[in-house]
């Protein structure tokens, strides 16, 4: 019950667990009053997105959709981190088979989240660089908890290029010029700046407040027929969905060619060394 009390204030703890992954990497609860599923990533210490976490997240999203949830709030069970991004350990290799499995899993999880038929919003309760930012901008609505943490796509800082399906949603939110500068410099934004740029839709005082605001967004569609809303969402997003389906293998090839470059592998090793020194 500790997870439930963290997610929702005590006065609103009318939650029933629907399902959770066997590995406990993702926890899902449902608010009985609203029918909204709250999906929390729970891979300590920083929700690094490895193959197992991504698979668990995709399964949870598909189950929420098939269970006819009214919508999904995506968040983290960790107190100050939403997601530190892609697991760097998954990329510290030149083994193409391992890289292929990892990237295909990321592609499939992104495609599921991007094309989910039900409303989905993100309660960003802490740091969210790179892949963590990708998850947030893939959803329809973002609420960022106030604090010193940051959000953004900073792939260039590791010598990497964010692929099209990272960049296009980012550009659509920030506008071309601001997104270009942010992507080139690998900038990360604090909550107030993220709101100013349009990277997030609202700020919240804490995680519980963020979840309530996400639920309010989902409930705003109560009087909109699902069939019309879903068709419109998928039509708006159809170009990028089509791109991913038609260019999945080319995108994989580009990723492998980039990540296996000696200078990129060297940057990854230096970053891992830096992380170990911080522990």
Give the integer Cα–Cα distance in Å for 218 and 37.
11
Question: Which range is least confidently modeled, 84-98, 113-127, 140-154?
Answer: 84-98
Which one is predicted more confidently, 11 or 188?
A: 188
Catalytic residue of the set 25, 113, 154, 199:
154
Taking residues 130-147, report their average pLDDT. 98
Taking residues 1-28, report their average pLDDT. 45
Contact 41, 77 (CB under 8 A): yes
Catalytic residue of the set 27, 90, 140, 155:
155
For 121, the 3-state DSSP assignment is: strand
Taking residues 76-103, report their average pLDDT. 95
**Complete edge-to-edge strand list for the sheet that includes strand 141-145:** 15-20, 26-31, 36-41, 71-76, 120-124, 141-145, 202-204
Q: Exposure of 196 by Cβ count < 10 A (0-12 exposed, 13-18 middle, 19+ buried)?
A: exposed
Query: Can 155 be counted among the known catalytic residues?
Result: yes
Phi-psi region of 178 (alpha: psi -120 to 50; beta: other; left: phi over 0): alpha
Which stretch of DSSP H or E encloses residue 26? Answer: strand 26-31
Query: Can 153 be counted among the known catalytic residues?
Result: no
Taking residues 79-97, report their average pLDDT. 94
Among 74, 80, 71, residue whose Cα is nearest residue 56: 74
201-233 residue pLDDT tens? 999 999 999 999 999 999 999 999 999 999 999
Give the integer Cα–Cα distance in Å for 38 and 122.
10
Q: Exposure of 129 by Cβ count < 10 A (0-12 exposed, 13-18 middle, 19+ buried)?
A: buried
- CA angle 260-90-28, nearest 5°? 145
Q: Exposure of 72 by Cβ count < 10 A (0-12 exposed, 13-18 middle, 19+ buried)?
A: buried
Give the CB-side neighbour count of residue 229, counting CA atoms within 13 A: 17
In the prediction, which pLDDT does 278 show?
65
In the prediction, which pLDDT does 270 show?
85
pLDDT at residue 106 greater than cutoff 80: yes
Give the integer Cα–Cα distance in Å for 219 and 196.
25
Query: Can 7 be counted among the known catalytic residues?
Result: no
228-260 residue pLDDT tens? 999 999 999 999 999 999 999 999 999 999 999
In the prediction, which pLDDT does 279 show?
56
Catalytic residue of the set 61, 86, 151, 187:
86
pLDDT at residue 12 greater than cutoff 50: no
Contact 121, 71 (CB under 8 A): yes
Query: Can 86 be counted among the known catalytic residues?
Result: yes
Catalytic residue of the set 71, 126, 131, 152:
131
CA distances from 165 to 64, 66, 130, 148, 232 (A): 24, 25, 13, 27, 20
Q: DSSP assignment of 252-264, as one string?
A: HHHHHHHHTSHHH
Mean pLDDT score across all residues of the chain: 90
Give the integer Cα–Cα distance in Å for 218 and 212.
10
140-198 residue pLDDT tens? 999 999 999 999 999 999 889 999 999 999 999 999 999 999 999 999 999 999 999 99
pTM as predicted: 0.89
Encoded tokens for 181: 């500068």
């Amino acid at each position: 019950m500790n997870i439930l009390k963290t997610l929702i204030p005590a006065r609103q703890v009318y939650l029933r667990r629907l399902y959770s992954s066997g590995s406990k990497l993702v926890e899902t609860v449902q608010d009985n009053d609203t029918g909204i599923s709250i999906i929390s990533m729970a891979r300590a210490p920083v929700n690094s997105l490895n193959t197992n976490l991504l698979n668990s997240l995709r399964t949870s999203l598909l189950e929420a959709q098939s269970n006819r949830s009214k919508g999904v709030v995506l968040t983290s069970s960790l107190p100050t981190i939403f997601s530190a991004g892609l697991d760097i350990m998954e990329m510290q290799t030149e083994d193409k088979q391992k890289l292929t499995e990892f990237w295909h899993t990321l592609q499939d999880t992104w495609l599921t989240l991007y094309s989910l038929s039900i409303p989905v919003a993100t309660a960003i309760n802490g740091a969210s660089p790179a892949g963590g930012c990708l998850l947030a901008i893939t959803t329809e609505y973002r609420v960022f908890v106030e604090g010193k943490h940051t959000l953004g796509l900073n792939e260039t800082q590791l010598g990497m290029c964010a692929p099209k399906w990272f960049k296009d949603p980012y550009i659509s939110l920030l506008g071309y010029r601001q997104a270009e500068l942010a992507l080139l410099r690998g900038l990360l934004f604090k909550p107030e700046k993220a709101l100013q740029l349009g990277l997030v839709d609202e700020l919240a005082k804490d995680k519980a407040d963020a979840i309530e605001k996400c639920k309010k967004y989902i409930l705003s569609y109560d009087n909109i027929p699902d069939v019309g809303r879903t068709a419109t969402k998928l039509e708006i997003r159809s170009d990028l969905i089509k791109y991913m389906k038609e260019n999945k293998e080319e995108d994989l090839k580009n990723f492998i060619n980039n990540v296996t470059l000696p200078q990129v592998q060297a940057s990854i090793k230096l970053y891992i060394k830096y992380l170990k020194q911080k522990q």
